[in-house]
Amino acid sequence: VNGDNSTQAGVRRVWFQTVAVTPGVEHVFELWALGTSAGCAGYTLELAVDDVEISGTFCPAANRVYERHAASFTPSASSVTVSLRNVSGIT
């Protein structure tokens, strides 16, 4: 996926999907992100479930290297909307 190309920083969903989950059971969301600039000078992302941030912000630190990121959550409902959000405004 690719984010918005606005010059304004803010929270923008670059990917989201509503998925079935098991209430009360911990779930882990994992992704791999490609660094576009060394030292996190590129985009900054966060993971959210039902519009609540679960991961803290992160960015790939090495240029042209995929880096793994994961976050866990325990839902209270049988479906949630998981989203990857761009918080830097950089695509």
Each residue of 8-53: pLDDT tens digit?
Answer: 555 678 888 999 999 999 999 999 988 887 777 778 889 999 989 9
Which among 50, 43, 40, 59 has a CA at the least distance from the CA of 4?
Answer: 43
Q: What is the pLDDT of residue 22?
A: 98
pLDDT at residue 50, as a whole number = 94
Cα(47)–Cα(28) distance, integer angstroms: 11
Phi-psi region of 78 (alpha: psi -120 to 50; beta: other; left: phi over 0): alpha
Q: Which of 33, 5, 32, 1 is nearest to 91 (CA)?
A: 5
Rounded Cα gap, residues 21 and 71, in angstroms: 15
Query: What pLDDT sits at residue 60?
Result: 85
- Examine the pLDDT at 85 and tell me if it is beyond 60: yes
In this prediction, residue 1 carries a pLDDT of 63
Quick one: pLDDT at residue 7?
58
How high is the pLDDT of residue 41?
A: 77
Q: What is the pLDDT of residue 40?
A: 78
